[in-house]
Structure 1
Amino acid sequence: MSRRRKFAALAVAVTVLAMTGCDRTGDAASGGDTRDGRIAGTVTVFAAASLTESFTRIARDFEAANPGVTVTLNLAGSSALANQITQGAPADVFASAAPKNMATVTEADDADGTPLVFARNQLVIAVPSGNPKGVTGLADLARPGVKVALCADQVPCGAAARTALNAAGIALTPVTLEQDVKGALAKVKLGEVDAALIYRTDARAASTDVTGVEFPESTRAVNDYPIVALRNAPNRAGARAFVAYVRSASAQAVLAEAGFQVTP
């Protein structure tokens, strides 16, 4: 082989090796699997506001189990998050407080696989500590002078509230409609309303400030919480690993402690 041909062959080999190296580096930077099977990079999780406390802890535990991984949480109403995803917001995982909002994502072909239910949640009536209005059930919310906060109808906690109120045959006009469950809870904590229909888990997390009053009609409005990795996830390996972790025994124990009904 001539010196010129040897030089050309060597140049091709170097180029191939460089491209291979770049691909591996790109995979690691974006969170792809490394040679030893570990994940890396940032996992961006869009999660319903009612998952704030639980997912904050689960994210910390996931990071501890996967050194080099950082979980970034975007916590808001499920309907708002679903719209952000379908409009192209960069996210790896979506955890919704209701199947309806998850359907917005799957119908837009933005899900990587089939969403899986990982928990369920139920409503309570949140009242200030001491329950000054003596609220014992849904009928009390319709009494004159009782100011009530609800979530907006397009938000899972709002849809569940409407289902429960309809089941009880109770009509009421809330003084405010909030965009997520944390907003409704805040109105009670600030003393701006006398009661709010929120999730049991949120009332438990705020138990120093509010009391959760159980009511039988809540069994008619139990919300399933589905989770899925996203098709355009910047960190696909990290997304799948996080979804699997949420359904693990460790994460399910965290959810159960928070008051969620966990799935087998």
Structure 2
Amino acid sequence: MEHIIYGRNSVMEALKGERTIEKIFTLRGQNEGSIIKILGIARRKDIVIQEVEKTKLDELSNGGKHQGIVAYVATHEYSSVQDILDEAKLKNQDPFIVILDGIQDPHNLGAIIRTAHNAGAHGVIIPKHRAVGLTSIVSKASAGAIEYMKIARATNIAQTIAQLKKANVWVACADMDGKPLYKTNLKGAIAVVIGNEGSGVSQNIKSKCDFNVSIPMYGQIASLNASVACAIICYEIVRQVNYKIN
């Protein structure tokens, strides 16, 4: 599957079809003819649109005839949140879900997907806006785990958390001010929220969670890479569930 498409006809056909478009780049100030129609469809589908200079489009299309428009297409089809819950039900297991709040580094996202898969999580939920999507870099960084993991993309993470709570899933937020991870009961249906690489979990999302958990820090730098933090928390869940230890 192509990861970048360009040209008006190609982008229009992708919009009409079943392919998931992550983002559209259009020439700044371009507002005529078929471009208007393309962008109109994109907005109705809530696709991110960014106006850029011609040099950026030339770079993205590798010098191809882009006609003022380039689109990123997901390397992997998205699932729904319900698909993830159904996966847990099918396996007769309590739901185990990783929610990401604004991860922007594709290598981090790929590493998190790889960890989530190997820890036995049923799915990963990522935001639709202000976060990296399922790019080719993410796919490579996941070492193939992207093909086995259900990944849902949510327009509103706060509403998604509310949906999970209705399904009797407890939602834990990874936060420095939380209760120490190893002293927290993480058994049962659980979702864990991992925040942005720099600012962590947003205050709005944090307020929607049931409780906060922290990872003990003993060094001078009181933070961890997002994918490392996710791995530690996921495997504490594995430890508690599989070994029946508090």
TM-score (norm 2): 0.26
TM-score (norm 1): 0.25
Compare relative contact order (CA 8 Å, sep 6+) and give the higher one, 1 or 2.
1
